[in-house]
Structure 1
Amino acid sequence: MILSVLLYSFVVFTVIQIAYYICFSTFLFHRKKENKETIKVPVSVVICAKNEIENLQKILPSLINQEYDDFEILLINDASSEETSEMMQLLEKKYEKLKIINVENIEAFWGNKKYALTLGIKAAKYNHLLFIDADCKPVSKHWIAEMSQNFSKEKTIVIGYGKYIKVNSLVNLFVRFENLLTAIQYFSYAKMGSPFMATSRNLSYHRNEFFKVSGFINHMHIKSGADEFFIQDAANKQNTEIATTENSFTISETPPSFKELFHKKRLQLTRRKHYKLKHKFFLRLFLVSKIFFYLLATVLFFFYPWKIKLPIVLTYYLVQFIVIGFSAKKLQEPQVTYFLPFLEIGLLIFQLSIFITNLSSKPTHWK
């Protein structure tokens, strides 16, 4: 009797997982529509930086050389040191398209990036804003063009993909897999009409959308997550588009260690408790059903005939390999598919460790 219940439960959780992956496959069929109403717009590229002069010296040439007619680069100097601020001023003199907005910390918003971003957004020359982090760079000279062509009268928020540089290390492979899986989720949710997050490494929207939701006011007390919470507040089925062409990607280096990645993901997990109820439910259901899939598969391995269990497991892996495999190809991450089962189990252990750690202590903001 107990074994029958366990088997039926295993089947249920397997079906839930397969249903998720079928839903995730929706973004694979995304094609940029030839829309006569698509308009070529002037763009303000926004970078918020705090003591990141080395990164800025790397990224600015790739932005200045973008093949796009009308754009500015708005650099928000988020209370950097005096030496860094002086270097920024030299960069402003060097690059004609570069404009610097200096932000000083005030007591009410000490160290809050959202405050700096708000001042920068207000000061931008153009209404269409394209965001990138200082430690990233576009993969091509057509990044601005690829992202901005998704704007139309209806589509005023564009979610892009921020990938990581490939190097031969376990940390790098793990980070790229986790980043790929996250992107598959937020692209597919957006494609299905329920966007829930984006990355600050590659996000664009019309300034009116920012003011419609009163900027970051609803979550100004949370130091991180400006991109995620903005999407939670402002994005919907009607106004959101995704950009998945290779030339629309940005790229950056992975965290150098599991320790830094662990802390970063701890912060992300704490932010998710502020998501909309439906997003919290479906994100948690995906994780919980996967955990029970592996737990029950392990238990049944010892007590149930393999001829019954094996087809169920193989069906799950077949669907998963197809969806993640084609997604990895589309987002230029084919290598992660070769190690999929091991990376997935490792990610589950990693996520459970974060959850348990967060129960005993709260992560502090790490800049």
Structure 2
Amino acid sequence: MLAYLFIAFIVIISIQCIYYLLIFGNFAFSKSSTKQTKFNLPVSVIICAKNEAKNLTVNIPFFINQNYPNFELVLINDNSYDNTLEVIEEFKKKHPTIIKIVDVAPNEQFWGSKKYALTLGIKAASNEYLLFSDADCKPISENWIQKMSNNFNQKNQIVLGYGAYKKVKKSFLNKLIRFETLLTAIQYFSFAKIGFPYMGVGRNLAYTKTTFFEANGFVNHMHRIKSGDDDLFINQVATKNNTAYSILEDSFTESLPKKSFKEWILQKRRHVATAHYYKRKHQFLLGLFYSSQILFWLVGIILLSFQFNWITVVSLIVFRQLVVYLSIGLAAKKFNEIDLIFLLPFYELFLICIQMLIFIKNLKSKPNHW
């Protein structure tokens, strides 16, 4: 039995190396081009807010003060019960030419659906080129719109961006959230680079209005699941021919991370539930990666506990870890997250346990709100 496990261990490490070297490594080892042509396309920045008065007060100025000549800011109040509407109305009084307000009233058919609110915002947008972010987000540069929109052309109708989380000193939860975000970003950027895009994040995402309406918007999954306005839509419409991405620092956004494990777990449960509706080929590739991660640690620990061919097993573990450090480390440098790699094995193990917990919880009940 141990001999069979040893053979399986070699196969598992081989699978891991294919992901970390050939797929993630292809992105991590690539050089980031800083050359861009300024197109100054007319852009509509769209932000959907539900009970986000406090965050909007802080973050709206970062969007208003963008160094870009031709944009509007579409602010969607999604049936908030705090003073979100009053906050955005005050900003509109000061910037009437930039801000457009969409006030979403309750709708029995689409109750609590962010997709419905976003659809109304997209319809109200004046421009063909749409750039999305969240109310708890801010662009880290006044050139954010420029750097994201410069990726549009006749071929590229979708642009994937990086949505970072604010760094909090001496917080394990913060590092874990940022590590999970980094690993997710490495995956979807890497697959996009090899012509296999499968998701994007609503914190920093752009696509054309034409792309949205040609796909009938969120109709395919509007009633199936309330989340997925970003990743499910991109999973539906993105191809190797219409998708670009930006990893220039000025194109990043920054969000406030969750402050408790409970809040973060609920957020991740929604994300995992959404992935169930990805295309089968994407589910297989992501499932194979996560399964190989779990099996690597499980089988490796079993073989070491019985000291079976332990020198070779240890050598394989060290080799795999060097490959992981190399690919994740170089990618982390692109995203300014280099501080996360020092305890990488620990974060990886902890995250695997969290993911297994989420999987079990989601089997019992589905999170059903955003």
Please give the per-residue CA displacement for 1:106-164, whole angstroms capped at 9, x wherever unaligned: 11101111111111101101110000100000001110011011111101100000001
If the length of structure 2 is used for normalisation, what is the TM-score? 0.95
Give 2:91's aligned amino acid. Answer: L
Corresponding residue to 2:340 among 332, 336, 348 = 336
Q: How does 1:228-267 map to 2 (within 5 A)?
A: 228-267=231-270
* TM-score normalised by L of structure 1: 0.96
Structure 1 Cα separation of the partners of residues 152 and 76 of structure 2: 24
SS in 2 for 1:183: helix
- CA distance, structure 1, for counterparts of residue 282 and residue 34 of structure 2: 27
Q: What is the aligned partner in structure 2 of residue 204 from structure 1? A: 206
Counterpart position of 2:79: 79
Alpha carbons of structure 1 residues 43 and 8: separation in structure 2 relative to 1, 3 Å: same
Residue 362 of structure 1: aligned partner? 366
C-alpha distance in 2, partners of 1:82/1:18? 50
Structure 1 position 219 matched with structure 2 position 221: yes
Equivalent position SS for 1:105: coil
Deviation string 1:1-23 (CA, Å, 9 cap, x unpaired) is x2211111000001101111111
User: Which whole-Å deviations, capped at 9, do the CAs of 1:29-62 have from their partners, x for residues lacking one?
Assistant: 15448577x7331111101111211111111111
Q: One-letter code of the match for 1:52?
A: E
What corresponds to 2:93 in structure 1?
A: 93
Residue 186 of structure 1 corresponds to 188
Residues 1:290 and 2:293 are matched in the alignment = yes
- 2 CA distance for matches of 1:236 and 1:111? 30
> Can you give the 5+ residue segments of structure 1 that lack an aligned partner in the other structure?
none
| Alpha-carbon shift at residue 80 of structure 1 (Å) | 2.0
Whole-angstrom distance in 1 between the partners of 2:245 and 2:91: 32
Which residues in structure 2 correspond to 1:268-307 (within 5 Å)? 268-303=271-306, 304-307=308-311
Name the residue aligned to 2:130. Answer: 129
- In the alignment, the residues of structure 2 paired with residue 350 and residue 150 of structure 1 have an alpha-carbon distance, to the nearest angstrom, of 36
Comparing both structures, which one devotes a greater share of its residues to helix? 1
Contact 1:32 1:150 in 2 (8 A): no
CA RMSD of aligned residues (A): 1.4
Corresponding residue number in structure 1 for 2:9: 10
Specify the alignment match of 1:58 in structure 2: 58
CA contact (8 A) 1:136 1:253 kept: yes
**CA–CA separation in structure 2 for the residues paired with 1:177 and 1:74:** 31
Give the % identical residues.
Answer: 47
SS for the counterpart of 2:199 is coil
Partner Cα separation in structure 2 for residue 83 and residue 163 of structure 1 = 27
3-state SS, counterpart of residue 154 of structure 1: coil
Q: 1:259 to 1:79 in 2, by over 3 A?
A: same
Say if 1:52 and 1:307 are closer, same or farther in 2 by CA, change over 3 A: same
The residue type equivalent to 1:73 in the other structure is L
Read off the aligned partner of 1:324 and give its amino acid letter. Answer: I
Distance in 1, Cα, partners of 2:186 & 2:236: 21
Match of 1:165 in 2: 166
C-alpha separation in 1, matches of 2:231 and 2:155 = 21
Amino acid at match of 2:126: K
Q: Secondary structure in 1 aligned to 2:305?
A: helix
Comparing 131-140 and 349-358, the one that deviates more: 349-358
Which residue of structure 2 lines up, in the alignment, with residue 110 of structure 1? 111
For structure 2, list consecutive stretches of 5 or more residues without a partner in the other structure.
none
Question: Is 2:20–2:327's contact at 8 Å kept on the other side of the alignment?
Answer: yes
Q: Secondary structure at the match of 2:217?
A: coil
| Secondary structure, aligned partner of 1:108 | coil
Q: Deviations over 1:303-345 (max 9, x none)?
A: 2132211211111001000001011111010111011010000
CA contact (8 A) 2:40 2:70 kept: no
Whether the 8 Å contact between 1:47 and 1:75 is mirrored in structure 2 is yes
Q: Residues 76-102 of structure 1: CA distance to partner in whole angstroms, max 9, x if unpaired?
A: 111123743233222210123111111
Contact 1:198-1:227 within 8 A present in 2 as well: yes
